[in-house]
Amino acid sequence: MADVLVHVLDHDGQFNKSSLGALSEGARLAGELGGEAHAAVIGGQAPCAALGRYGAARVYRAGGPAGVAQPVVDAMAGLMREGRFACALFGGGLLGHEAGAALAARLGAGIAVEVTATGVRAGRLVAERPVLGDSQISEIELSGPAGIIVARIGAFEALDRGAGDAPVEDLAFEPSAPATRVRMIEHGAQRGGEEADIEAAEVVVAGGRGLGGPEAFALCEELARAFGPAAAVGATRAVVDAGWYPYAAQVGQTGKTVAPKLYIAAGISGQIQHKVGMQGSESILAINTDARAPIFEFTDLGIVGDLHRILPRLAAALRARGDGR
């Protein structure tokens, strides 16, 4: 009961970054428990042995459609019932939440979701989850034979330890009736998601809750366009969690770290978790209605005012100068 089973998602022949982060965290947690991290890969083409570099001591590989929850639940339930694992860990995202919840129901196990830290205290497995708009941390103790932990997407860093290949075992499992009725038809790219290369952008126009709603991201996109192809749109955790913009654009502790020549923070308060992802920018411009917003403590230039009025004016001024395009 000291091992940790980690689901690793193969997305179009590549292992998903959040899954690799979960595997690294699983290996760390297994070390605390005195056991090993094992990876479960259901479907896909990526070379499974390479997961040894991220801490997997063993990999179970099963056939089936990648990215569909039911086969993951069937395969992992079989492994969990062997009684070797203290918990099953998922990297988050829609699939992680769906498969994690279904696995908990199948096993009658406890579950903690949106987890940002794990550990062992007084011999008990605990998971931390931010609550109340991320202002507090709740600690969840997973008692019982095994627990299910679903990480907050991107919460754990994928650490390539440079270790050797892991042994790979082919796993046979009996698909349940629902698993045979589901197939993946198409992966859709989120708006601004795959193309938003904010890490390489020279200018990042980032939006926060001060935008007031998802439609106002059009103002950030308009300004980024006015800067030209080297500009991209970023976002805070608060707005990606609210579904206003894709996770791929999130800047901060659990998102991406950026260091563009210019970072424009529109309607962003400047909490520490956001700051750590953008403080290395060459110049920072903030637009905020609240002159006492923390972001003004580390900006090069601050505009106290309504972003809905200021962003279109900045875009118009750039277009008039003929910059960018």
Rounded to the nearest whole angstrom, what is the least distance from the CB of residue 234 to ligand FAD in the complex? Answer: 9
Rounded to the nearest whole angstrom, what is the least distance from the CB of residue 38 to ligand FAD in the complex? Answer: 27
Query: 122: number of CA atoms within 13 Å, CB side?
Result: 3
Looking up tokens 């200018």 gives 203
Q: Is 281 in the site for ligand FAD (CB under 6 A)?
A: no
Q: Is 87 in the site for ligand FAD (CB under 6 A)?
A: no
Rounded to the nearest whole angstrom, what is the least distance from the CB of residue 257 to ligand FAD in the complex? Answer: 9
Distance separating alpha carbons of residues 135 and 238, to the nearest angstrom: 12
| Residue of the chain from 28, 58, 209, 225 that contacts ligand FAD (CB under 6 A) | 209
Q: Is 290 in the site for ligand FAD (CB under 6 A)?
A: yes
Q: Is 115 in the site for ligand FAD (CB under 6 A)?
A: no
Q: Is 267 in the site for ligand FAD (CB under 6 A)?
A: yes
**DSSP label of 129:** E
Distance separating alpha carbons of residues 94 and 311, to the nearest angstrom: 33
Decide: 103 and 73 in contact? Cβ < 8 Å: yes
Query: Within 10 Å of residue 280's Cβ, how many Cβ atoms?
Result: 12
Cα–Cα–Cα angle for 196, 200, 201, rounded to 5 degrees: 70
* 81: phi then psi, degrees, rounded to nearest 5: -70, -15
x/- map, 219-258, ligand FAD, by CB under 6 A: -----------------xxxx----------xxxxxx---
Q: Is 70 in the site for ligand FAD (CB under 6 A)?
A: no
Q: Is 116 in the site for ligand FAD (CB under 6 A)?
A: yes
Q: Is 287 in the site for ligand FAD (CB under 6 A)?
A: yes
Q: How many residues does the chain have?
A: 325
Q: Is 111 in the site for ligand FAD (CB under 6 A)?
A: no
Q: Is 28 left (phi over 0), alpha (psi -120 to 50) or beta?
A: alpha
Site residues (CB under 6 A) for ligand FAD?
Answer: 116, 130, 134, 208-210, 236-239, 250-255, 267-269, 271, 273-274, 277, 287-290, 293, 306-308
